[in-house]
Structure 1
Amino acid sequence: MQINQKLVEKFFSGQCTAAEARLVSKYLADENNREVYLNSEEWEHFEPVEKVDEKISDRIYVKVLDHIHDKRETRRIRFRYLAYAASIVLIATVGLVAYKLTNNRVAKPSYVASNRSKPVTRVETFITNTSAVKKNYTLPDGTIVELYPKSEVSYFPFDQGKRDVNLTGQALFRVHKDKTKPFTVFANNLATTALGTVFKITAFKKGLYTKVRLIEGKVMVKPLSKLLSAGVETVYLLPGKVFTVNMQTYAASVKPFNVEAPKQLETLDPGKAIVTEAAIVFDNEPLSGVFNALETKLNIKINFTPSELIKMEFTGQYEFGRDDIDGFLKMIGSLNNLTVDKTDVGYTIKKIK
């Protein structure tokens, strides 16, 4: 008896005789014969609609579990399990071929969309200073970058437990404090890593020297690629130290440098808080003056009752880029027995009764 598409269609529609069914079943057991009715691409995209009846599936599952701990029947379990698996594969194959044949009657097969999630495209952001003056930029985590002329930074989203930034040129970084996400700047085969600090890197492509100056905190400067092969070692910088490497000879050194005091930009009235390039500095400042200064410079709204803050003062500084306003206000609140509640428009501060 000759096997043809008409006979196979009869087989799946249940119209074959017993002899014909045995013949077609044997024919489809050969993988090469199945390829006549469906190709590898269709197999790749196919998702059978029909499933094994839940009662049958449950019986198979229970049957396997009943014997899985019986050491005396290890071989029998193996063969039974394979038989069950083969049965399920056969059912899936039958449904697949039937799907193909049915769709051939009306049109080309349309593929069922996969439930597998597509990989998320991560887009790199570039910031370039083409002007003749230094410019300030704020990164997504709150870090402030003072980018010098003819310099560029780039970064991918900070969503994978780290904050990596590429630098070409010169920039000062006021790194936002976040112990869970190290902040690393890659420049001229050096990786400078910090958790929350202020440092300045000079790394022009054609520059003879690459330099890392630490102004506050602590950083690790790690050589990569050519510098690592040339024997440049990892160093840990302390404030007031500069790491310098000659990009031709690969000679490296650590020397002290004079840390310039932050330039004073303005004095806020009436509280007399001093604003520098790096921070708002408070010296025995009444809390009402502290909150007013934060409102002005950070463009936020802080609601409070002045009479509740009498004789309350604060000495310290709010560092741009490094400090988080939530944490800063809560720190002041805990020191002065105040509650700090975040609202839709800002913050509300009250004295604890």
Structure 2
Amino acid sequence: MSKLKNKILKDYLLNKCSTREIESLRQWLEESEDHASQLFKIEELYHLGKFHMNQDAEHIEKAEQNLFKAIDNSKSIKFKSPHFLRYAAVAIIILCTCSYVGYFAYHTNKAFSMIEVSATAKSVKRVLLPDGTNVWLNHSSTLRYPQKFTKEKRDVELKGEAYFEVTKNPHQPFIVKSDAMTIEVLGTKFNFNTKHSNNYEELSLLEGVVQIHGNNDKSTITIIPGQKIILNKQTQQITIQRVDARMESLWHENMISFKRSNIQKIVAILERLYNIHINIDSNINQRMTYSGEMRRYEQIDSTLKALCYSMPICYKRKGEYIYLYQINK
């Protein structure tokens, strides 16, 4: 992949990239450091005009049109040649003569300009951060991060649940902040749930090492892969457990995980995932448990059919109501 499509470049500048375009851009950037350097220069040219404090909206729009016209006049963007960069620079500079003050204002704004991304109540959303870190947001979760990380650290804020695969950088710690905890890593994989319940936050570690700081406590705790830390937000009490961390994060692969779960716990999980009420018949054995993982289907009927195949239970629907009952053998 030596060329970058013009549409992807324009969508990137306008923050309109689709998930597929972001993935293509990420792969292209990983091919060479020169790709990242040249893309950064074009982005600088674009934003220098937008952040110049003396430009009105009409001039900014016209400058954008000139830049995008220059992009369209090239069959594809080949960064081995500087001609396109010079053309793009002229297109911007014609209408936006940016001083050092404008340049400084752009970088200051970019470092502190926050982007907020949320997953809907029915879907998992994947986010690619500026450093190449991948984040999967669980349902109704929100992530805030700067348009550009500082040289010293990579700060993000989380409300809800997210699975992180953090790009390694020993000189730039990756920090996740929630209402109750601050997580610091250099490069690792972990699942962080800030709303496990009203009073608890949980973090499970798959790879690497994580340091946890309670926001109301100066102490620091370090956990290793296979451990989960649970923080009581009211009492600040911390508990560490051994867990199958992969099972804790299966949701980001669109899977549902059950571990020695009785029917009450299974139903509670399904009700939360599908936002629906399920009635449990009194004849179901409450001590019966199920362990395993299954695909989370878009429709709950498909998920229930898979569950009934694994357990001696069945279900029926009456309008919007779902009833579970045990099969008597």
TM-score by length of 2: 0.41
Structure with higher Rg: it is: 1
